[in-house]
Amino acid sequence: MNPLNPKKLLLSKWTVVKPVAKQKHFLVSRVIQPDEPTHPIELVEIEALFSKDVQVIAWRELQDDSVWRQGWV
């Protein structure tokens, strides 16, 4: 996978490899900025398209090819 830039993740599309409860496609709905502007971005908010459930995850988890695929597959 190409390296990810946390500042360019907003509104990116992701597919989970093993869907749970019909939740397969996700959209990065928000990049959570750290309290200190000098600290790096660590968290993103992803929204399931089917159920509109929102989860907060570390953006680096999206780099795990065994769990996530970039785009809607």
CA distance 52 to 27: 10
For residue 20, count CB atoms less than 10 angstroms from its CB and return exposed for 0-12, middle for 13-18, buried for 19 or more.
Answer: exposed
- Token reading at 2: 């190409």
1 occurs within a structural domain: no
55 lies in which domain range? 6-70
CB atoms within 10 A of CB 46: 22
57 occurs within a structural domain: yes
pLDDT digits 0-9 by tens, 5-15: 888 999 999 99
Sheet with 68-70: strands ordered across: 54-58, 43-48, 23-32, 13-20, 68-70
Q: How many domains does the chain have?
A: 1
Confidence of residue 73 (pLDDT cuts 50, 70, 90): confident
> Average of pLDDT values for 20-40?
94
pTM for the full model? 0.88
Residue 1 has pLDDT above 60, yes or no: no
